[in-house]
Structure formats: structure tokens, C-alpha cells
Chains A and B, each alone.
Chain A
Amino acid sequence: MSQTTARDKILGRLRAADCKPLPLPDATDFYAQRRHEDLATRVERLALNLSNAMAEVHRTTSSELPAALSRVIRDKSLSTVAVGRDVLARQALCDQLQNVCALMPVTTAHAETAALFDRVDAGLTLSYAAIAETGSVVLWCDSQSPRLLSLVPPVHIVLVDVRRTFDTLFALMHQENWGSGLPTNVVMVSSPSKTADIQQTLAYGAHGPKQLIVMLVEDH
């Protein structure tokens, strides 16, 4: 088949260049020379960067989360909120949220895609970690956590356990040993969807959520 030959020809030409392998660069040194902050400072930086990027940041505690989240949902009149298995597993939280909105489970393959486009007001997800340097929330998308919840509905609400706030993406990857394998999809989210494609003028709500609501859950 022409496939194998194209592959072999390309690799053959690259090998023919007989390039000497260079030593493996180590990014650790670069990141080691940078300032490391304690958790409280990292969380402040995270919150500040997110707010500067037009995300709406709410600070709460785990005991107050159900009430705080209910308030946000009610204030914004979000009547249908899509959730994955990870949120559904938080029985107590879901029970309370059901008093203020309808929770739509997204668990079956491709079943809710049309509804997400048409009827859902918000997607609610957990986060895997957060990054202070860039003000990013990291989503670990697998069977527990669908990808479209943070993308298709006009509002994305994400719960962040602030103890999982890292200095940098590098620190996160390194400490959690990402090199040994990743899930289907990992996404870093740092603001509502935006574009500057028309005359360099910034506009929000390009294709993804127009609002990003981050619930920082801190327990002292």
C-alpha cells in the first residue's frame, strides 16, 4: 500500500540525514530557579489571574458550597444544569441543587449532545487541579467527567479544591507524573471563550461559554 511506502520514504529521508542526537534538555532547572509560593499565595494569584481574565470567582468552603452554588444558579436563572458522573456522585450537593434547578445527567454516549446545544443553561464540572501562574483550571476528562459540559452551554461552573493549586503547569505535570499516561482529554481553561479576530477587539463568548464561574473551595 502507498501508506507504508510514504511512511518508509519519509523516515528513510530523515535517517539519511544522519543527525547526531543532542543531549536531552531538562526543563527542571529553569523552573527550579523561579519563585515558589506557599499555598495561600498561590490561591490568591489564581483568583486574581482568573478575575483579570473575566472569570467570575466565588470563594467558599465545602460546608457552604451547596448554598453558595444554589445562590449562583438562582441569581443567574440557570434552570437546567448538565452534570457528569463526578458531580452526580456528590449526592448531598446534588440533592440541594435540585431545589433550584433541574440537573441533567450526561452519562450515555452522544445521548445529550443536542440538548447541550439547545436547552442546557450551564455545565457544572469538578476540576482536577489549578495553576496559579496562568490562572488556569485543569479539567481531567474521562468517563466521570464529559468534555462538552465545559464547552457547549453558555455558562460553565467549575468547582476547585484550592489545595490542588500548583505553581505552574510544569510543577503539576511533574508532581503528578503525567508522563506515565493521560486520560482521553485534559483541558486547561483560563477564561470565558474569547476572540480578537475582528480588528483586534476583544469579544467574549466566541464559540464556548460566555461566562466562566469558578467556585474556589477553601477549608481552613
Chain B
Amino acid sequence: MSQPLNFVPVAEFRERARSVVANPDLQKSLRGAMDFLQAKRSAQFPDDAEFQRLRDLGEAIRQYSLSRLPELLEVLEAKLTENGIQVHWAETPEQANTIFIDIAQRHNARSVIKGKSMVSEEVELNHALQEAGIDALESDMGEYIVQLADEKPSHIIMPAIHKTKVEIAELFAERIPGVDYTDSVDELIQIGRKVLREKFAAADIGVSGVNFMVAETGTLCLVENEGNGRMSTTVPRVHVAITGIEKVVEKLAHVPPLLSLLTRSATGQAVTTYVNMISSPRKVDEADGPDAVHLILLDNGRTQAYADEQLRSTLQCIRCGACMNHCPVYTRIGGHAYGTTYPGPIGKIISPHLLGLDSTYGLATASTLCGACAEVCPVRIPIPDLLIRLRTEAYSNPATASEAVRGAGSAYSSVAMALWHAWAATYRYPALYRLFTWCASRFRFLTPGKQGGWTVNHRAMQPARRRFRDQLKDRA
């Protein structure tokens, strides 16, 4: 299943967004899915005062963990190593994939079964494995569907949220040998279960992401509903977990509040079916579990976000997806339009660090700054403030731009800047302002009929025949 690197060009964001907005079927299913997730989430937080206290705690835990990130990573590494889990560090997606392929080759692995992992999507692990001649199969039902369709996940929690039951039924009938068309959800799930069970039993390596890493005990926590995560981390002889460096907390006692915020915000569940805490490979007298466990810690631009005090809060994220479910932009354009691994508000603020602001600044501007994301974010990331900051970075003069974000200044235009300067001067000097408005009303017949994006949906703007100040004077 060959996939292009880096998804689709972020530059074509606008075109893709437009085509989704113009598709009524897609609009209906997106709306339905988002209403469902919003309702389920809000039912989980009936007591707002309690929710706010839990958010305070969640935010404090994430900020504390980040404030000690380098030490905590070292403690984590030491503890995991002591427990028998091998720790690897990758600065880039390429390094992460090389490390993975190296592990696979050392174990003579031919096939890999994957639990859900957004970081493995971020590094395009499947693509790298395929090139190395290793089969990689997704086992989360949503991910399996998306892989079968040669697509990418459109949501970080519900990867196949853009697909209807009928589309999935057609996909299964077409792509899975020996399967007849059925649009019964139960039957479809049983088909997936049957196919994937054989793969679990045969796979050489299981891959997973990580929700929280606990430094004090050297524990990897994973949450899921299906059981494929437990399968991937228990059945194959080798388990490789891959995650971002920011996911560490110091104390085990920090997990319950974050876990509660995560599952309630993400899918509106008090808890997921399984909460899986892994602290070592199989010990000598144990009957099952992998003989080797590896953890790949990925940077990929996270240290850049970390270096700046304001942008650091991006790393507080626990990947619950609530911001996308409540975003008026995401709920209309869906996940694929963004062209990045992480769509929606969190995607807008994290992608510039992963991919550079030069290719992603269009995402930061595609926001009304309504603040719905910040209102639901369980760890209180000030997403609108970060969007404004990223816009400022993108549009600043490259000659004087800060070095906080790679690609800063890439949206800069000297013409636009000159116009803004003229605009500012007009408003600073009353004489200039009077002259400007006098000219504008006098030469109003010169205003163009086509005014960019505005006239796509609106009538062209034209200055008034008489200025406001003149009209006031008439009345005096």
C-alpha cells in the first residue's frame, strides 16, 4: 500500500477544503459524527466545577512534566532500561524508521501488526517498512479500514470518521477476498476481527503508540477499546512502542487525572475498555508477553516548540481530539483537507514545528479565532493565542524574524507590508486620514468589482458617497 511521503501538499489546503464544503454527503456525515462526539463528551462533564478543578490539575501536571522534561526523560530511560525495556532516541522521522527497521532486521521480522499510533503515522512508518520489504498491517478497526482504502486517518481518535457504513461495506466486499457485501456493522466488525486475528497470531513484531510514560516506575500506559492494542503488545515476540518525547509524567499518581480527562474528552467514556500498563518484557517464569520491548522516543520538531516559553504549551497536549470535534473549521472541512498527520486545531499548532512554517502557515490563518478549542481543551492549551503567534511569525520580515519557528517569515510580502504601513500611517495622522477618505468617496467609481475572496460570497464593497464626518456635519 504505497503512500506518498508527507501526505498531500499542505499548500493545496484551500482547494481541498473547498471541495469538502461543496460535498453535501460529506457535510452531513461530518456533522453527524461531530454532534455525536460533542454530545458524548458533554454528558461526561455534568459538574462543571469539578471539571474545572480536574482541568486545573491536568494542566498543572502537564506543565510540571514539561518544566522538568530533560530530567524526567533521563529518569524514564534509566527506569525502563532497568526493567528490561530498550530505549532509542530519534531526532527525525528518518532516524525513527531506521531504528525500527534495524530492530526488525535483528529479529528477522517479516511482518508487523500495528496498534493505533499517530506518531507512527507522523514518521510514515508503514511506507518505510514497505520499502524495506516488511509487511505492516493496521489492526485498529478504523486504521484497518483506512489502510484498506489506501487513505490516511482523518481524525486522531476515530481514523475512519469520514467514511459511511455503506462505503466501508463496499470496501470490504471489494478488497477482502471471499467477503460478500454486508452493511451490518456487527458483521463488518466480525469480518475485520477474523482477518486480523490470523495476523496477530503470525506477526513477528507488534507496534503501539503510548498515551503516558511514567518515569518513576518505567511504565508505558495505553488506552483503547478494541483489544488490538493489547494484542499488538502481547502476542508477537517483539513489541516496539513509538511516541513523542513530551508524553512523560513523573509520578504514577499523575496518570489517573490525565486518563480521566483523556477518555472523557475524547470519546465521552468514563474509561476505555482497556487501560494497559506495560512495565517490562516477559519475565522468565511468565507464560506470555513479548520477549523484547523497545521504545522509540521521537523529537521531530518538539524541541523547537519546547525552546520557546509560549510555544511550549503546544506540548501539553494529550491528543484527545476534543479541539477538532468542536472546531467550526474542522467540522466542515474534515481531517484530510489539512494534509497533515494531525488535523484540526492541534494540527495547526503542532504541524509548523514538525514540517516548518513555510509549508503550514496557511493552517494558522484558517481560523476565526472563535476559541471553541481552548474552551474544551482538557489541559487548557491557549490554542488561539498560539495561532496568533504563529501568524505573527509567518508574516514577519525574514530579515528580522525570530528563530523560534523554522520557516518564520515565509509568508512575508513587501507589498503587503508596505500597504499595512500606509494603512497604519493613515490612521496615525488625522490630515492623512481626511485626505484618504476624501479621495475614497470622490473616486469611489474606481473600486474594483472583484475583491478577492470577499466577492466570492458577497457583493463588492464600495466607499460611501459622502463620508461619515460630512454626513454628521450636515446634521449639526
Contact = CB atoms under 8 A, between A and B. Distances in A.
Contacts of B306: 13-14, 17, 19
A187 B277 contact: yes
A188 B57 contact: no
Contact of B70 (A15, A178, A203): A15
Chain B interface, DSSP helix/strand/loop, else mixed: helix
Interface in B325-358: none
Counting chain B CB atoms within 10 Å of each CB, the highest count among A20, A22, A185, A197 belongs to: A197
Interface string A162-206: 000000111001100011011111111111111111111101011
B251 A17 contact: no
A11 B289 contact: no
Contacts of B64: 21-25
A191 B273 contact: yes
A198 B230 contact: no
Contact of A147 (B37, B200, B217, B230): B230
A66 interface: no
A176 to B, nearest CB: 11
Interface string B63-76: 11011111001100
B14 to A, nearest CB: 28
B13 to A, nearest CB: 26
A14 B69 contact: yes
A148 B273 contact: no
Contacts of A136: 271, 275
B53 A151 contact: no
Contact of B73 (A11, A108, A111, A195): A11
Interface string A121-148: 0000000000001111000011100111
21 contacts: A10-B91, A22-B63, A30-B54, A30-B57, A33-B53, A117-B197, A142-B286, A148-B234, A148-B288, A169-B275, A179-B216, A179-B253, A185-B289, A191-B273, A194-B225, A198-B165, A199-B185, A203-B188, A206-B189, A208-B226, A208-B231
Interface of B: 29, 32-33, 36-37, 50, 53-54, 57, 60-61, 63-64, 66-70, 73-74, 88-91, 95, 99, 139-142, 145, 158-161, 163-165, 168, 185-186, 188-190, 192-193, 196-197, 200-201, 216-217, 219, 225-228, 230-231, 234-235, 237, 245, 250-257, 259, 267, 270-283, 285-289, 297, 299, 303, 306-307, 309, 312
